[in-house]
Amino acid sequence: MNTRFRCSLLVGLLTTATSLSADEVRVAVATNFIDVMTHLSRQFEAETGHKVILSSGATGKLYAQIKNEAPFDAFFSADEERPLLLEQEGVAMPGSRFTYALGKLVLWSPDPDYIDEDQSALREKRFRFLSIANPATAPYGRAAREVLEQLGLWDELSEQTVRGENIGQAYQYVYSGNAQLGFVAKAQVYRQGEYADGSYWQVPDELYSPIVQQAVLLQDSEAARALLDHVRSPQTVELIESYGYGAEAGEPVARHAH
């Protein structure tokens, strides 16, 4: 057997071994986290050879799809309620649930002079439309409703409020100019210590319930477990924080019922 043939055979065997060990991980991810998940998935794919397939949407709708046996291996929710329910309902793998991020809510407008710390644009109704995510299906929408209720403006602004199906659509309404301002996820307008162009008010944490974002394993595969371990790594925690989230170390919380 000549040297060139032996080398070709070795490369072929290594390629076959890699393809056999590689797997696909199908992930349902809340819309607010899709940019971060795309970034860290590329890192994970480069390191492991596994392929990550992402599907994003409102947390409530993803939960309903999972309950209807949609073929996901992992779920990155925008709340802690749905992962806990999936665990209690026997759909999620016991002991796999953990907090991967703490969401932050921001009132944002692409107009640099629109929003101030007194929320005068809101209080004086100096806008045609205010965008929020649907409070019934999206945790960031529920948080936005809580803020408006705390400010005594929920009923007063109801006719000027437009609701996106998820936080991604709520952001698009503002970004496109169809709404003059909106409550969005901080991660949508914040990168590496700086906000996007425009004006903003980072809503104080005490005005809304904590947005505790949890992940859970749905299928017990080696590749899916490896992805969740990757998300809990110190490097990924730093990445998550760079997008404006609060981040936790990611210890399992399944034994602590809420």
pLDDT in tens, 138-189: 999 999 999 999 999 999 999 999 999 999 999 999 999 999 999 999 999 9
Query: Taking the C-alpha atoms of 147, 148, 150 and 154 in order, what is their torsion angle to the nearest 10 degrees?
Result: -150
The residue type of 153 is: L
3-102+211-242: CATH architecture: 3-Layer(aba) Sandwich (3.40)
Which whole-number Å values give the CA distances from 76 to 65, 117, 164, 228, in the listed order? Answer: 13, 32, 20, 10
Amino acid at 228: L
Measured CA to CA, the distance from residue 113 to residue 17 in angstroms comes to 58
Q: How confident is the model at residue 8 (pLDDT cuts 50, 70, 90)?
A: very low
Tokens read off for 225:
């477990």
* 121-140 confidence digits (pLDDT tens): 999 999 999 999 999 989 99
pLDDT of residue 20: 42
The string of pLDDT tens digits covering residues 52-84 is 999 999 999 999 999 999 999 999 999 999 999
Give me the phi and psi of 217, to 5 degrees please.
-90, 130
Look up the CATH architecture of domain 105-202.
Answer: 3-Layer(aba) Sandwich (3.40)
- Asked if residues 132 and 173 have their Cβ atoms less than 8 Å apart, the reply is no
- State pLDDT tens for residues 204-250: 999 999 999 999 999 999 999 999 999 999 999 999 999 999 876 55
Local structure of 146: helix, strand or coil: helix
Q: How would you classify residue 151: left for phi > 0, otherwise alpha for psi between -120 and 50, otherwise beta?
A: alpha
pTM assigned to the model: 0.84
Whether residue 53 is annotated as binding a ligand: the answer is: no
Confidence band, pLDDT 50/70/90 cuts, at residue 22: confident
Domain boundaries, the chain: 3-102+211-242, 105-202
Q: CA 117, 118, 119: angle at the middle one, nearest 5? A: 90
Burial (CB count within 10 angstroms: exposed 0-12, middle 13-18, buried 19+), residue 13: exposed
Q: Do domains 3-102+211-242 and 105-202 have the same CATH topology?
A: yes
34 appears as a binding residue in the annotation: no
Burial (Cβ within 10 Å: 0-12, 13-18, ≥19) of residue 65: middle
**Edge-to-edge strands, sheet with 211-217:** 51-57, 24-30, 74-76, 211-217, 98-103
